[in-house]
Structure 1
Amino acid sequence: MANSSVFPSLFFFFFLLLVSHNPLPASAYSFTEFVFPNFTATNVRFIDNGGAFLFSRNGSFKAAISNPGGQQTRFYLCVIHSASGTVIWSANRDGPISNSGTMAFTRDGISVSDHDGSPKWSIPTIPKSSAAAALQLTESGNLVLLDKSNASLWESFDDPADTIVAGQILRKNGNALFSSVSGEDFSTGDYRLAFSDSDVILGWRGQSYWKLSMDPRAYTDSTSPVESMAVNGTGLFLFGRNGSIVVARVALPPADFRIARLASSGQFIVSSFSHGGMKEELDGPNNVCQIPSICGEIGWCSVSTGNNPTCQCPPGFRSKASNSDSFNGCVPSDSSSSLVGSSCSNNGSQVNSSSPPISYLSLGNGMDYFALDFSQPTKYALNLSACQEFCTTDCACLGIFYDNSSGSCYTIENDLGSFMSSRDRDSDQVGYIKTVESADKSSSGGNRGSVNETHNRKQFPLAALVLLPCIAVAVVLAAGLVWWRRWKIAGEKVRLSHANSFSSDEMDAFYIPGLPQRFDYEELDEATDRFKMQIGSGGFGSVYKGVLSDKSVVAVKKITNVGIQGKRDFCTEIAIIGNVHHVNLVKLRGFCAQGRQRLLVYEYMNRGSLDRTLFASSGPVLEWQERFEIALGTARGLAYLHTGCEHKIIHCDVKPENILLQDQFQAKISDFGLSKLLGPEQSSLFTTMRGTRGYLAPEWLTNSAISEKTDVYSYGMVLLELVSGRKNCSIKSASPSQGGGHSTTTTTTSSSSAQFGGMVYFPLVALEMHEQRRYVELADARLEGRVRSEEVEKLVRVALCCVHEEPCLRPSMVSVVGMLEGGISLGEPRMESLNFLRFYGRRFAEASILGEDGNNEQREALLNSRQEYGTSNYSSTISDPQYIPLSFISSQQISGPR
């Protein structure tokens, strides 16, 4: 009891001491760090400090009765970042008060009431045995209710509004961020950020439109379920296992103060405070047209300069607003039709005898909807009429998107948002909006005709009962005859071309969602002029140039030795590949699975593969900026394969032959996702030694687990070849002019231990020049000084970090993108994890001299590497008599060039 009576006195003494030494509050009524029970605050009382009644000890934050935007009708209990004026928390967001409304702090807690005493907000009830003793504003901006033992009874950090700050944790168990209506109205808006098992997702009225993993800088560290989110001085993080592991992260530049906010615009924005203002570092979605209501209901959004939205109405619709200066959505142009709205009744039925007629207005081709990327088709393998009929009978359905090539039927429910132009120019999806005829129109026929015409239309079905069955039988017989003749002719064509043909019924017997366009073998046979113009070959098959009926140029790959014999399994794999879309990935336009034929149809890359341009002995030389753009584009494509698409894809054969170039030398990765299509003979080769000599990660030698870090190693080797303009293992030329300049300078090679009997192993040259900080000597001699040392240093350091022997030391591809773009500082190569390159150099040289008889020498060299440096436990595998040196597997044997 003595301790209990002494505590308040001591507490108050320390409080007075703090106040007396605090110079921050300008008003005599403001307090520092603590206030005590029986305290009240209004905006009027603390008007001299803008309504602020409590400051944190360091002055970084203040608690205030504030009116955002200077308006005079809505006042809120807020916590504000002092330097920037940013509101990081508000209590009564859905119950604003007037300037004379009151915040009261008693032993029962905190409550907010308006001037007439009507309650607007209060904290949850606390036990009477734990009466509140103080209200504290911490240096991190947390408003904390304390009992007499300084134990927390309630914290604002546990009751977030639309923002979290450094030191605050947003937890999955019931917590979510909700946007405000506007910057001046803190009422709960329509946008919500919540957790999924592996991500955080933005939603609008029950529809998802963005997730954190869509940001190219997001990197996934673990497959554990996500439990919480936090920001700090180094970035944004998702945690699992009670915060013990990082599941995903976005690395950001160091900052002293950082917040993550779900803005009233619908964007999730991470900002930091610097140079007197808030700087945005991440915004999602970064394409404003993906925000659900950016252009109102059925508004058509397109992006103009500066990522600003331009809104208009799709064909067949007009703006709701009569004032052209404002745009808030669209309605049907025909005033006799209107949008249906959600009209579910208890029985779930919308259509009955008295219901007005339902019709569908097409949005036209090239239109997309923000929620489709997060939705699965509601129905599969329907025709358009059946898809519309399904929507008609569903009272919650407001519209559909129909995929003509696959028969997928997507429904739009809850609310209609904005639309945007399709990102896929070859998309076969078409959108339709469900409308209903007005009562006058449906009862009288509107302007379409008289009452007599309506009567005739009603009488028509009675006469049709007699005529239609006869007509239908005749049509079916005629169609059957035409089909039979075409089938017979097509069969003859296929037999003449020695191809086994199955009827289309075989494919129609099942449906795989998400399949790209299906081509007939005869169509591709004609497009490629009977497969005459071969442009590449390899382990997956041969590639031919073709021109489709729409005059578009394509590359047709004939898959040989297909391991997946079942058509359904083959199509399942193709559906996964076909749904991977990225600007730096070669697009799969379609496929053919007819009889034993397996063909893939890709977009045509008119500049061919990187190796043909980079290693060419004649023709124009790739300039440094072009090489850098190719490196960055390739990194972005791999980062998307690893973390951005629904099914993680490990390429396993990254090399210049699989990097294709288009106009302006835009790089696109090919052959991703094809590993499961290999036949039994090749699958054994793939399992144990997938890849190509020179790009193969050390873990392949030991049958160790293969991960996305395997691609990182191969990418690092490609990066070194981009620097030097030659193969990493090549014969030293007599002079720089020989071999198209694909040799190092005399300074580089004369003293380098990377030479073995005339062979030069460039990764070791790069390692030695990095140790000496002599970067410019590594650049392609053909560039003739058109590159600076710091530019070469960036690529070389990134490449060496990528080729660390231990996979865990290699950066993720997302981090590689960050280093190349400059958002993340360059990594420092670890010498102890790069010493294996010295033995690899000998291995390549001995292989070139000894051929297959050099197996023992190579195994001994690699074993010596592990024994001398102790960097791995690979020795048992290397000394295995069954070990096959990968030096003798050429690129043609595995997947080959284009």
Structure 2
Amino acid sequence: MRSTFLLLLLLRLFVSVSCAYFTEFVYPNFTASNLRFISSSKGAFLFSRNSIYKAGLFSPGSDDSSFDFYFSVVHVDSGSTIWSSNRDSPVSNSGTMNLTPRGISVIEDGKSQKPVWSTPVLSSPVYSLRLTDSGNLLLLDHLNVSLWESFQFPTDSIVVGQRLMLGMSLSGSVLESNISTGDYKFLVSESDGLMQWKEQNYWKLRMHTRANVDSNFPVEYLTVTSSGLALMGRNGTVVIIRVALPPSSDFRVAKMDWSGKFIVSRFNGTHMVTEFSGPLDSCQIPFVCGKLGLCSASENQPCSCPDELRLDADERVCVPVSNSLSLPVSCEASNITYLELGLGVSYFSTHFTDPVEHGLELPACHDLCSKNCSCLGVFYENTSRSCYLVKDSFGSLSLVRNSKDNHDLRGYVKLSIKKPNVQSPGNNNNRGSGFPLIALVLLPCSGFFLLIALGFLWCRRCAVMRYSSIREKQVTRPGSFGSGDLGSFHIPGLPQKFEFEELETATENFKMQIGSGGFGAVYKGTLPDETLVAVKKITNHGLHGRQEFCTEIAIIGNIRHTNLVKLRGFCARGRQLLLVYEYMNHGSLEKTLFSGNGPVLEWQERFDIALGTARGLAYLHSGCDQKIIHCDVKPENILLHDHFQPKLSDFGLSKLLSQEESSLFTTMRGTRGYLAPEWITNAAISEKADVYSYGMVLLELVSGRKNCSFRSRSNSVTEENNQNSSSTMATSSGLVYFPLYALDMHEQGRYLELADPRLEGRVTNQEVGKLVRIALCCVHEEPTLRPTMAAVVGMFEGSIPLGNPRMESLNFLRFFGLRFAESSMVEGQNGESENMGFHQRESSNSGGSRHSASYVASQEVSGPR
């Protein structure tokens, strides 16, 4: 009895010694298991120096089950696992982590001694294993040189200080409680952060409304910082894409979640708070509703099955209602049919992959799939006749709320036809005896006559087609669209094609005009589904063929951004072009800001409008597949939707304008007050011309008045300041060239005097100064000194320091102000409009307006855009 007691005492002493955890370092010939360290540190055997992270064998479940333990690194306070070694090979609670001079190995259990995971072959013997306060687990040699790091082999997460290099990925887990590798992945590519499901792209980081594209350099790595998320390039000196988050010193982690979302979250002291998540629309997640499930984003029933399919709950898949059809399909062409999914059903892969063929008829598209054993279905675009194949895996489908948005795309699921029951061999002998003799005689004869009839019809069809082709060539002259079918050009991505009669009905024969300009008039319309649209008539366009037109419309129609007006469709009849846009219920910024009829825009609303417009331009310049220079940024082209959300319109339309119309574009639409100086000097036009125009618009947002206008004495500077300020030319008439006035007030730090007086003190000097400084940086005379629109967005959000206006590149404003004053006084004597920058005459009696610095001859700006 006494010996037994001593044995138990020695065993307890051994366990208590072995359960002591270590800080920062452990050394070779060390073994750890969950059982050995369960009492003192719940499985952790190693803590970082300040106990921020711990390493050990842990179970993600709360029940500490007997066979789901992983060698992991965990954030102590939040309990978040940031790295795991054997995520696909869990061990029991008696499994061990062994550290030897050759590296780390995780052993299944004490009996088998079978390694389920180990570090690769190392260049030299291991001296120590270290866990840092950043969460990095390192194997070091005797010189403290790193031989292996967990940061270089991420699983589903990265933390502050860690880099996810080009080509590396984060793989989401199967479930929240099962950290085995799942099907969702976040991959760093040369141009973006991509999200994939079974190697198929379904989302990009730049698609998020909070993601800002700063440059187009190749991406080198993704990193998480105390102020956000960033894709970096040029050895870490250039931000390519960034997501600005509130600065914080708390624990922050970016994770490819098991749900298919990429999430950035922060520990606030009590729980994890989600700061960023994408995609925002859950229906964009490929398997959110299971195989062939239909996602509708409805709170009551987010997932359902398409018509003719029913849910198999056990398999989480929608299967055919008919018992004669089944999934999967065989490769025998005679045993295959296709189930149409109907209108308004889309599939994620069609937005990220090219069609396998253009210009195919639907049966030929089906035939391509039928001959491919890995093909599970097709999606077919009627307008472009493009064929998309769904291969290997079929995910969830997405229901477009308004089928008009996706009327052109039709989906088909490939199904097997089950063979009927075959009769018994005894009955097969009698099948031929009952076949009518007359049928044996008539069938060959009827087949012969049928072939003759089909041949006759085919010859007649060919003759009609030849006649139609000759007729079209006679009718369609070079430079006109004619009346042919635009669908004959197989351009992928075309938006909806409306018939002219449809738009006549929608607009009540173009009854309500809501705008006009150099591109043409704009009319309000209502589609049959009660959707409000804006129909823009464009005349004298610069395109000389249907294919060129289709290509340009496809480019514009495929641009998606929350701050850009969406092109819903188009119509072409002869030389007349009609574009159908979503309707903006608050009209243009020009009417809201300058009309004086509605409520005054508050400062926060102006700030949001400026930021949203900057984001839209930044996307056009660096977020699209093809860079787009707007060439006509002004308040009339900034439309306002619900809650004054700004959306930039008319982007990409400069290519649709003829040379003759482009001169009207600069002289009749009131854009000369926003034209960059390089238009006058015939210098190369780049996206920096849009930056200049944006700066001029920003100044008008600050003041609430047009930059070139007359103002009352109460809104001008005082008489004392007039004597010392170059901004007030012809002050006796109340004339102010506002950009120059803003420059003077900037030099004196008196920003509050620039604010719209209607705000009545509801804005601070600092708030006005921020926008004025950004605006002045944008209107530098030298284009290279102007910031990019992505940098402008960064200045608004605070992730980039405010720029300092360069006075030597702003002195040209004094010349502009002087010429404006002289020309305006001449026009005032001739009874011209006070807003000379917007209504100058082309006739010879325009007097001084032809000498104004803001006047630009049409031939100087009719070059390429």
Q: What secondary structure, in the 3-state scheme, does the structure 2 residue paired with 1:888 have?
A: coil
Q: Distance in 2 between matches of 1:229 and 1:756?
A: 53
Question: Is residue 46 of structure 1 aligned with residue 37 of structure 2?
Answer: yes
Question: Is residue 843 of structure 1 aligned with residue 820 of structure 2?
Answer: no
Q: Distance in 1 between matches of 2:411 and 2:720?
A: 61
Question: Is residue 504 of structure 1 aligned with residue 508 of structure 2?
Answer: no
- Is residue 405–residue 496 contact of structure 2 (8 Å, CA) maintained in 1? no
1:288/1:552 CA distance change after superposition, 3 Å: closer
- Is residue 797–residue 826 contact of structure 1 (8 Å, CA) maintained in 2? no
Work out which of the residue numbers 735, 738, 746 in structure 2 matches 1:759.
735
Give the Å deviation of 1:608: 4.2
Q: What secondary structure, in the 3-state scheme, does the structure 2 residue paired with 1:132 have?
A: coil
1:532/1:236 CA distance change after superposition, 3 Å: closer
Q: Distance in 2 between matches of 1:688 and 1:362?
A: 53
Question: Is residue 266 of structure 1 aligned with residue 266 of structure 2?
Answer: no
Q: Distance in 2 between matches of 1:265 and 1:623?
A: 40
Q: Distance in 2 between matches of 1:442 and 1:724?
A: 85
Question: Is residue 35 of structure 1 aligned with residue 23 of structure 2?
Answer: no
Which letter maps to 1:218? Answer: A
My pick for the range that moved more, 376-385 or 685-694, is 685-694
Question: Is residue 125 of structure 1 aligned with residue 121 of structure 2?
Answer: yes
Question: Is residue 887 of structure 1 aligned with residue 861 of structure 2?
Answer: no
Match of 2:363 in 1: 385
Q: What secondary structure, in the 3-state scheme, does the structure 2 residue paired with 1:755 have?
A: coil
Give the Å deviation of 1:209: 0.7
Match of 1:9 in 2: none
Question: Is residue 335 of structure 1 aligned with residue 323 of structure 2?
Answer: yes
- Is residue 361–residue 432 contact of structure 1 (8 Å, CA) maintained in 2? yes
Which letter maps to 1:77? Answer: F
Match of 1:365 in 2: 343
Q: Distance in 1 between matches of 2:582 and 2:218?
A: 37
Match of 1:432 in 2: 412
Q: What secondary structure, in the 3-state scheme, does the structure 1 residue paired with 2:127 have?
A: strand
Work out which of the residue numbers 56, 61, 68 in structure 1 matches 2:53.
61
Give the Å deviation of 1:706: 4.8
Q: What secondary structure, in the 3-state scheme, does the structure 2 residue paired with 1:363 have?
A: strand
Q: What secondary structure, in the 3-state scheme, does the structure 2 residue paired with 1:415 have?
A: coil
TM superposition score normalised by structure 2: 0.80
- Is residue 819–residue 853 contact of structure 2 (8 Å, CA) maintained in 1? no
Q: Runs of 5+ in structure 1 lacking a partner?
A: 1-24, 344-349, 445-450, 736-742, 855-882
Alignment of 1:280-679 (within 5 A): 280-303=274-297, 310-321=302-313, 328-340=316-328, 350-352=331-333, 356=335, 358-422=336-400, 425-428=404-407, 429-440=409-420, 465-466=447-448, 468-469=450-451, 472=454, 502-504=482-484, 507=486, 510-518=489-497, 536-541=515-520, 543=522, 555-592=534-571, 596-605=575-584, 608-616=587-595, 618=597, 621-622=600-601, 627-628=606-607, 630-662=609-641, 665-679=644-658
Q: Distance in 2 between matches of 1:426 and 1:549?
A: 13
Aligned Cα RMSD in Å?
4.6
- Is residue 518–residue 669 contact of structure 2 (8 Å, CA) maintained in 1? no
- Is residue 538–residue 893 contact of structure 1 (8 Å, CA) maintained in 2? no
1:33/1:395 CA distance change after superposition, 3 Å: same
C-alpha distance after superposition, 1:87-112 (max 9, x if no partner): 11111111111111111111111111
- Is residue 252–residue 824 contact of structure 1 (8 Å, CA) maintained in 2? no
Give the Å deviation of 1:274: 3.4
C-alpha distance after superposition, 1:121-155 (max 9, x if no partner): 1111235xx22221122232221112222222222
Q: Distance in 2 between matches of 1:654 and 1:178?
A: 43
- Is residue 472–residue 484 contact of structure 2 (8 Å, CA) maintained in 1? no
- Is residue 707–residue 738 contact of structure 2 (8 Å, CA) maintained in 1? yes
Q: Distance in 1 between matches of 2:650 and 2:34?
A: 65
Give the Å deviation of 1:416: 1.1
- Is residue 42–residue 51 contact of structure 1 (8 Å, CA) maintained in 2? yes
C-alpha distance after superposition, 1:751-799 (max 9, x if no partner): 9653211321233444555666666654434455676777656655654
TM superposition score normalised by structure 1: 0.77
Match of 2:843 in 1: none
- Is residue 217–residue 817 contact of structure 1 (8 Å, CA) maintained in 2? no
Q: Distance in 1 between matches of 2:201 and 2:443?
A: 45
Q: Distance in 1 between matches of 2:54 and 2:562?
A: 46
1:826/1:186 CA distance change after superposition, 3 Å: closer
Which letter maps to 1:126? Answer: L
Which letter maps to 1:377? Answer: P
Which letter maps to 2:49? Answer: R
Which letter maps to 2:282? Answer: V
Which letter maps to 1:239? Answer: M
Q: What secondary structure, in the 3-state scheme, does the structure 2 residue paired with 1:371 have?
A: helix
Q: Runs of 5+ in structure 2 lacking a partner?
A: 1-15, 425-430, 828-849
C-alpha distance after superposition, 1:16-64 (max 9, x if no partner): xxxxxxxxx9996211222111111111111111111112223222211
Identity level (%): 54
Question: Is residue 210 of structure 1 aligned with residue 210 of structure 2?
Answer: no
C-alpha distance after superposition, 1:182-208 (max 9, x if no partner): 232221111122233211211111211
C-alpha distance after superposition, 1:247-297 (max 9, x if no partner): 333333323343222111121222333334433222221222211111111
Give the Å deviation of 1:234: 3.0
Question: Is residue 170 of structure 1 aligned with residue 164 of structure 2?
Answer: yes
Q: What secondary structure, in the 3-state scheme, does the structure 2 residue paired with 1:62 have?
A: strand
Which letter maps to 1:850? Answer: S
Alignment of 1:689-704 (within 5 A): 692-698=671-677, 700=679
Give the Å deviation of 1:746: 7.2
Give the Å deviation of 1:560: 4.7
Q: Distance in 1 between matches of 2:689 and 2:196?
A: 35
C-alpha distance after superposition, 1:315-344 (max 9, x if no partner): 22222217xxxx934222223322226x6x
- Is residue 161–residue 177 contact of structure 1 (8 Å, CA) maintained in 2? yes
Q: Distance in 2 between matches of 1:66 and 1:812?
A: 48
Which letter maps to 1:828? Answer: L
Q: Distance in 2 between matches of 1:107 and 1:260?
A: 33
Give the Å deviation of 1:500: 6.2
Give the Å deviation of 1:656: 1.0
1:772/1:531 CA distance change after superposition, 3 Å: same
- Is residue 177–residue 194 contact of structure 1 (8 Å, CA) maintained in 2? yes
Q: Distance in 2 between matches of 1:412 and 1:844?
A: 62
Q: Distance in 1 between matches of 2:632 and 2:443?
A: 64
Match of 2:84 in 1: 90
1:892/1:443 CA distance change after superposition, 3 Å: farther
Q: What secondary structure, in the 3-state scheme, does the structure 2 residue paired with 1:847 have?
A: helix
Work out which of the residue numbers 126, 134, 142 in structure 1 matches 2:128.
134
C-alpha distance after superposition, 1:560-599 (max 9, x if no partner): 5544424433332222112113343233333455655555
- Is residue 157–residue 255 contact of structure 2 (8 Å, CA) maintained in 1? yes
Work out which of the residue numbers 756, 781, 791 in structure 2 matches 1:780.
756
1:545/1:274 CA distance change after superposition, 3 Å: closer
- Is residue 145–residue 154 contact of structure 1 (8 Å, CA) maintained in 2? yes
- Is residue 216–residue 640 contact of structure 1 (8 Å, CA) maintained in 2? no
C-alpha distance after superposition, 1:637-669 (max 9, x if no partner): 323323433223221221012123456655332
- Is residue 57–residue 69 contact of structure 2 (8 Å, CA) maintained in 1? yes
